[in-house]
């Protein structure tokens, strides 16, 4: 069941309707670009997936669902303090593109989560920039996560800023060792072939000993991807890691194949 562009007249009505007492077989629910829904409380024995996007005036979320496997949250709290309490012991996939505060957002143990999609972070000034605070707080909730989707933004070009810019803190990270012992897949999209992207991928490969797959997809606006650049990227991982490179030629997405 998906609802879009609805103006709710009562803040508590939807939760009552979606709970198991009235919808004993409901498995998927989505509410997108809605108004008038300030609180949502769902108690369900059957729900497998919940999608909530762009809820104007939303304040508090409560979910109790023993079978829930996918939670998709996008901009429901906007600039407000997030208030959420989720009890979902078999939750496997989380997409959280929203404010996050570990003191007011309770997501349970998260022991079964296999995939996390989070807000992007700015690579320069990381982790001190306020913009990076919430996604990094969410990442700290996980001791292991097999699949992580994270949008990281870097300046275009190695010398795109002044010598005093915080982005030069990246040089400190080049020698710092982080532990990503359970990370198995890395996908970089909208790649432009810049210095920071290359440096980031190199570090991730070093930090993730269990890495099995790397996918790099160039941005459609990058019309020239040289053979030398692709070969340089392919040399980063060892033979135990499968790496694929996708690029655009004449508007079509194609997989890179080395020249004969």
42-55 confidence digits (pLDDT tens):
998 999 999 999 99
For the chain, residues with pLDDT lower than 70 are 10-12, 120-131, 153-178, 260
Report domain extents, the chain: 1-113, 158-260
pLDDT for the residue numbered 136: 78
Tokens for 19? 């709970």
Radius of gyration of the chain (CA): 21
Q: What is the pLDDT of residue 158?
A: 47
Task: Give a three-class secondary structure readout of the chain.
Answer: CEEECCECCCCCHHHHHHCCCCCCCCCEEEEEEEECCCEEEEEECCCCEEEEEEEECCCEEEEEECCCCEEEEECCCCCCCCEEEEECCCCCEEEEECCCCCCCEECCCCCCCCEEEEEEEECCCCCCCHHHHHHHHHHCCCCCCCEEEEEEECCCCCCCCCCCCHHHHHHHHCCCCCCCCCCCEEEEEEECCCHHHHHHHHHHHHHCCCCCEEEEEECCCCCCCCHHHHHHHHCCCCCCCEEEEEEEECCEEEECCCCC
């Amino acid at each position: 069941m998906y609802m879009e562009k609805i103006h709710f007249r009562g803040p508590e009505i939807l939760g009552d309707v979606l709970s198991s007492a009235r919808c004993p077989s409901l498995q998927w629910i989505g509410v997108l670009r809605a108004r008038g829904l300030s609180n949502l409380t769902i108690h369900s024995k059957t729900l497998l997936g919940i999608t909530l996007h762009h809820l104007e005036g939303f304040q508090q979320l409560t979910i109790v669902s023993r079978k829930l496997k996918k939670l998709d949250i996008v901009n429901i709290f906007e600039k407000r303090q997030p208030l959420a309490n989720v009890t979902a012991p078999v939750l496997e996939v989380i997409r959280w593109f929203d404010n996050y505060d570990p003191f007011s957002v309770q997501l349970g143990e998260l022991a079964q989560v296999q995939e996390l999609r989070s807000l992007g972070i700015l690579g320069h000034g990381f982790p001190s920039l306020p913009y990076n605070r919430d996604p990094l707080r969410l990442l700290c909730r996980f001791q292991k996560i097999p699949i992580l989707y994270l949008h990281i933004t870097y300046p275009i070009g190695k010398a795109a800023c002044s010598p005093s810019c915080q982005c030069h803190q990246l040089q400190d990270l080049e020698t710092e060792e982080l532990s990503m012992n359970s990370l198995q897949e890395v996908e970089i999209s909208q790649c432009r072939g810049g210095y920071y992207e290359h440096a980031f991928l190199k570090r991730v490969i070093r930090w993730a000993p269990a890495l099995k797959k790397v996918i790099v997809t160039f941005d459609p606006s990058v019309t020239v991807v040289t053979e030398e650049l692709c070969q340089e990227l392919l040399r980063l991982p060892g033979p135990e890691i499968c790496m694929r490179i996708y690029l655009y030629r004449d508007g079509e997405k194609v997989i890179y194949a080395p020249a004969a």
